[in-house]
Amino acid sequence: MNFPLRNNNRNNKRNNFLSRGVYITVGIVCVLIASNFLFPNFNRALGYALSKPVWFIRDSALSSGGNFFAYFSSKSVLHAENLALKDENTSLKLKSYDYDTILSENQELKGILRKNTNRLLARVLSKPPQSPYDTLVIGSGTSEGISTGDRVYLSDTVVIGTVTSVTSETSLVTLFSSADQKITGENTRTGVSFEIIGKGASNLTLTVAKETDILWGDTFIHPAISSEVIGSIYYIDTESQTSFKTAYLRIPANMSSAKWVFIDKVSR
């Protein structure tokens, strides 16, 4: 019985392709990592310069084409939506009376306690579904006086993270919910402070002894002169066999729909 001889030429070709591919890959990876260590800011600035036009085109396309599908909604759906919006509007009006009163009082108190509030409005260029690390890219940088460590707010009282990297025109904001970020949060109901750890996707966790007084819906604030909301508890896991329980918090806003943020410049 005859067996065909093994095709050594073909095997050599394959091995050559593999070894050449490995050399090229490893070489490129080394160059990229070295460049990141040698010129970190240059790489970041170049990346943002390349990305900014795409982000602007996407935003303008979404804002102009956002109402396209509204033309195809049926009459009954629109009617139901209209009624729901009217109800919501009534309840929001009632809430806004309280809100206006509390806000003016809050502003007065802030004015007394911290005279140089220095807030900037910045456009969000890229946000969590695009970023796997729970970071935001905003369209303001050192040219507008932003520096690392500045606090970032979603509204007047909701604090969401800090600026961790700045270029001249853009900044990278790390959210408190970014993996392994640690912050101190104070329970507004009991006044007790805890260490809260980021878990990604706008979630944070808090591990405490089972006897600790925390409940679903408890709100946590950043301990500062003014109240800055970090998040509220939406689930408490007490099933585990250990003597601890884990509370899960969520940032009180949908980060994927955030278009603007406020930067509180640290006064230097």
Partner 1 sequence: MYSLSKSCYNSAMKIAWVRIITDICIFIGVLTLPWWLSVMLLMACIIYFPLYIEALFLAFLFDTLYATQYEFPQIGLLIATMILLITMFVRTRIRN
Interface residue list for partner 1 (CB under 8 A): 14-15, 17-18, 21-22, 24-26, 28-29, 32-33, 36, 40, 43-44, 46-48, 50-51, 54-55, 58, 126, 129-133, 135, 137, 164-165, 172, 174, 178, 180
Nearer to partner 1, 180 or 239 (CB): 180
Nearer to partner 1, 110 or 199 (CB): 199
d(CA 128, CA 216): 25
User: Is residue 96 within 8 Å of 104, Cβ to Cβ?
Assistant: no
Tell the smallest beta-carbon distance from residue 224 to partner 1 (Å): 22
* Residue (of 200, 199, 229, 208) closest to 217 by Cα position: 229
d(CA 258, CA 135): 12
> What CA dihedral angle connects 54, 59, 60 and 61, to 10 degrees?
80
Tell the smallest beta-carbon distance from residue 38 to partner 1 (Å): 13
d(CA 251, CA 222): 12
Supply the Cα-derived Rg of the chain in whole angstroms: 26
Nearer to partner 1, 13 or 95 (CB): 13
User: Is residue 184 within 8 Å of 195, Cβ to Cβ?
Assistant: yes
Tell the smallest beta-carbon distance from residue 8 to partner 1 (Å): 15
Tell the smallest beta-carbon distance from residue 137 to partner 1 (Å): 6
* Residue (of 250, 45, 263, 267) closest to 162 by Cα position: 263
Tell the smallest beta-carbon distance from residue 3 to partner 1 (Å): 16
C-alpha neighbours within 13 Å on the C-beta side of residue 250 = 10
Determine the longest span between alpha carbons in the chain, in angstroms. Answer: 99
Tell the smallest beta-carbon distance from residue 44 to partner 1 (Å): 6
Tell the smallest beta-carbon distance from residue 212 to partner 1 (Å): 29
Nearer to partner 1, 127 or 245 (CB): 127
CA distances from 49 to 111, 125, 132, 246 (A): 38, 12, 20, 42
